[in-house]
């Protein structure tokens, strides 16, 4: 009987901790490197549904700025960019620049943002280089992978 109580208490204690650890690990930001079909670096990204018919996520105006300016992707070698805004295969870019978007008092309704999309499928290549870690996947390291044609071998290629 006491063993059963101890087992139940241990499970109640351990399983939530394991679930929280998994959530924390699953929510860790990843290093995403991409190449777009055109020069969209200054345009704000939004997320579309899988069928590309609706916007599922978009930033608040304050989200497109950082302490150092705008949350623009970092230009890498050979037309690649290091993402700072959650770019993925369902990303689209709207016609507003980071500067224009950051000055909005109110975000337009998703339907209005949808009308501003300049390309519903702008991503030509997308690589996930793993969880962001201090000192790892720096711009220099990523450029080295690009220059030596190792990016697609060392990182998980989504497209």
Look up residue 84 and give its two tokens.
Answer: 């700072």
Give the pLDDT confidence of 23-77 residue by residue, as tens digits: 344 567 889 999 999 999 999 999 999 999 999 999 999 999 888 889 999 999 9
| Residue 6 reports pLDDT greater than 50 | no
**Average pLDDT of the segment spanning 125-144:** 86
Mean pLDDT of the chain: 83
Look at residue 44 in the predicted model and tell me its pLDDT: 96
153: Cα within 13 Å, side-chain hemisphere: 7
98 vs 21: CA distance, rounded Å: 34
| Residue 100 reports pLDDT greater than 50 | yes
N-to-C CA span, the chain: 56
- Other CB atoms within a 10 A radius of the CB of residue 13 amount to 9
* Host H or E run for residue 146: helix 139-147
The one-character DSSP state at 155 is S
pLDDT confidence of 114, banded at 50, 70, 90?
very high
Strand, coil or helix: 87: coil
């Amino acid at each position: 009987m006491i063993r059963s109580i101890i087992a139940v208490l241990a499970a109640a204690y351990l399983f939530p901790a394991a679930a929280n650890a998994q959530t924390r690990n699953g929510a860790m930001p990843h290093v995403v490197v991409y190449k777009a079909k055109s020069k969209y670096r200054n345009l704000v990204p939004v997320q579309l549904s899988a069928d590309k018919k609706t916007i599922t996520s978009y930033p608040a105006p304050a989200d497109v700025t950082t302490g150092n300016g705008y949350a623009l992707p970092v230009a890498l070698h050979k037309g690649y960019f290091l993402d700072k805004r959650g770019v993925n295969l369902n990303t689209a870019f709207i016609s507003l620049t980071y500067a224009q978007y950051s000055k909005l008092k109110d975000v337009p309704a998703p339907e209005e943002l949808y009308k501003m999309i300049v390309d519903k499928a702008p991503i030509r290549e997308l690589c996930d280089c793993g969880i962001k870690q201090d000192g790892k996947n720096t711009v220099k390291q990523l450029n080295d992978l690009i220059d030596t044609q190792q990016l697609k071998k060392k990182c998980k290629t989504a497209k």
